[in-house]
Chain A
Amino acid sequence: MFEAILLTVITASTPLVIAALGELVTERSGVLNLGVEGMMIMGAVAAFATAQLTGSPYLGILGGIVGGGLFSLLFGFLTLTLVANQVATGLALTILGLGLSGQLGESFVGMPGVRLPAIVIPLLSNIPFFGRVLFSQDLIFYMSIALVFGISWFLFRSRAGLKMRAIGDNHGSAHALGINVVRTRYLAVLFGGACAGLAGAQLSLVYTPQWVENMSAGRGWIALALVVFASWRPLRLLAGGYLFGAVGIGQLHAQLLAQSGGIAIPSQLLSALPYIATIVVLIIISHNRRTTLINTPASLGKPFVPDR
């Protein structure tokens, strides 16, 4: 049973981790995109539609990435080229995404979905227990793990990552040094959108292989919170995402175990556990103000106009 629970936790955590990783990169470049929920749902509908029309869940993944990415460029154009307010634009992106995806997906409602198959890695999957759990997963799970370490390397070990963090901390100085602020931010926004789209693809191809309007059900907002929770660090984000997923699944089992044991725990309290856990961790993190300040991109959300 423990193995089955672990598999459920992985499925529940993966979309949170992927979407939050994308937003982490966007925010490290100094752009606050509150449209994660909208990009995620656009990715979900694009992935489902592509998989339905082509019959291939792998093309579906690609569809999700492209769908989320293209949608994020709208945000990029408004906030980076036209220098519109990032908070308002991000919110608008979420509203637009929820509505537009409903419209685009109307004819796909109720269709049986195409499930992304598991890829069993030979040898590694023979390791008892963890091998079976970790190495018999679908492609999107493997991508999520690769993204965590890839982004970690990019941000803290590569020259391009250093430049991007410099932009996020002080876009004026970075500009003075000759770094192309707007172009880098466009790429970061695009990457964030692609990740949100991939997370959406996980929802409509793996988590629940179907399309219904609003199926992201607030996961984009949780991903946004995870970025702060992880203080903009990919490995902490991975841990946070899985903590959140595990508490969410654990509370369902806790309800049932409490029933068998004849104990009354209010289910509302159990449902609130992931959020209580978030608050507790945030308190612990913010206890040390200096490390928080070091990691927070200093020009996050501030508009940038070259030569002003």
Chain B
Amino acid sequence: MKKLIIALAATAAVVGGFAGSASAQEKKKICFIYVGSKTDGGWTQAHDLGRQALQKALDSKIETPFLESVPEGPDAERAIERMARSGCALIYTTSFGFMDATVKVAAKFPDVKFEHATGFKAAANLATYNSRFYEGRYIQGQIAAKMSKKGVAGYIASFPIPEVVMGINAFELGAKSINPEFKLKVVWANTWFDPGKEADAAKALIDQGVDILTQHTDTTAPMQVAAERGIPAFGQASDMIAAGPKTQLTAIVDTWGAYYIKRTNAVLDGSWKSEQIWDGLKDGILTMAPYTNMPDDVKAMAEETEAKIKSGELHPFTGPIKKQDGSEWLKAGEKAEDGVLLGMNFYIEGVDDKLPK
């Protein structure tokens, strides 16, 4: 029954989305598929801000229709195919769960270019793009180790996929670089988006004794709980300072705009190629929200680490690193390969959780 609702909603969204964009034939269509609502305050909002930046930069040449709240699964394929049929030159599918649907539609429309966020399946007309969020999480871990009195941070995780596990490990690595005894407690909310449940997870962590909070879910509810309980916290995907003016230390902010502009220009001048792009802090696809609510020396340390990561001097996943069970993963000086990071399915030492399989 729920599927039916979703299908109806998706159809309605498609019909509604295209009603207003039939005119202006000369402009190229650069299209976007969103998994959430464009005002979710997190992941999808960040993509939509990127789309707006793109529209603003190339206003005379393009239009940017989008579909919101497209569910992952079979309905996504239908939504993407409609976009392709409507004459889009380039289609961005902005959620990991759109991967197989994008691959299928891309095979049917060889003349349309596709770019899929955070996935790993590419084709001649299908590129992938992702952001090295772990770089930001490493900096957060360092700040946490400086700011936490108890040496225990709480981590609200969504689903046990490599992206999330990588983030947890990067945070713990950053913290351990300051305080080798630092512990990380993880709660799996098993959702990306449920303010109530995210708040419950935050409260559970605080009640169990953590005195600093970070999240890998989409809403500002955990930030709000942290503000009420008077402990510092980190924002996720968007700058969440409004939800905790005296609480947010910094946030990982997804800034897709520059990337969208670069790639759209490539489509317009015909130089677009299928690539698998994984950009980070240095490329500006990821920025840190202002370092606030912390002493100057901690801020200086965070800025220094950020500069080192940007210059390539520091790679967060550099050995010696042991796995959770104590076995060696990386030797001293050895850097993790991208392929291993993208498929990460184990914890490093110091994470106080057993990874759900």
Chain A residues within CB distance 8 Å of chain B: 1, 4-5, 8, 12, 91, 94-95, 98-99, 102, 106, 109-113, 203, 207-210, 212-215, 217-219, 248-249, 252-253, 255-260, 262-268, 271
Contacts and interface: CB of A to CB of B under 8 A. Distances in A.
Nearest to B207: A4
B207 A208 contact: no
A212 B356 contact: no
B194 A217 contact: yes
A109 B42 CA distance: 11
Contacts of B208: 1, 253, 256-257
Given A109-B41, A217-B193, 13 more contacts: A91-B5, A99-B12, A102-B37, A208-B195, A210-B224, A212-B219, A212-B220, A217-B195, A255-B186, A255-B187, A259-B354, A266-B356, A268-B190
Interface stretch (B169-177, B196-204, B259-267): B196-204
Contacts of B41: 109-110, 212
B203 A271 contact: no
B31 interface: no
A99 B9 contact: yes
20 contacts: A4-B207, A8-B200, A12-B196, A91-B4, A91-B5, A95-B5, A110-B220, A112-B242, A203-B195, A208-B221, A209-B224, A215-B219, A217-B191, A253-B204, A256-B185, A256-B187, A257-B208, A265-B354, A266-B357, A267-B356
Interface in B191-249: 191, 193-197, 199-201, 203-205, 207-208, 219-221, 224, 242-243
Contacts of A210: 195, 219-221, 224, 243
A123 B20 CA distance: 62
Contacts of A257: 208
Contacts of A218: 194
Q: Which of A12, A218, A256 has the most CB of B within 10 A?
A: A256
B39 interface: yes
B186 A217 contact: no
B193 A259 contact: no
A248 B203 CA distance: 13
Nearest to B186: A259
A262 B4 CA distance: 42
Contacts of A91: 1, 4-5
A4 B224 contact: no
B353 interface: yes
A118 B329 CA distance: 51
- Taking each of A208, A248, A267, which has the highest tally of chain B beta carbons within 10 Å of its own beta carbon? A208
Contacts of B194: 217-218
Nearest to A113: B224
A198 to B, nearest CB: 16
A257 B353 CA distance: 10
B188 interface: yes
Interface in B311-357: 352-354, 356-357
The interface centre, meaning the residue of B194, B200, B224 with most chain A CB atoms within 10 A of its CB, is B200
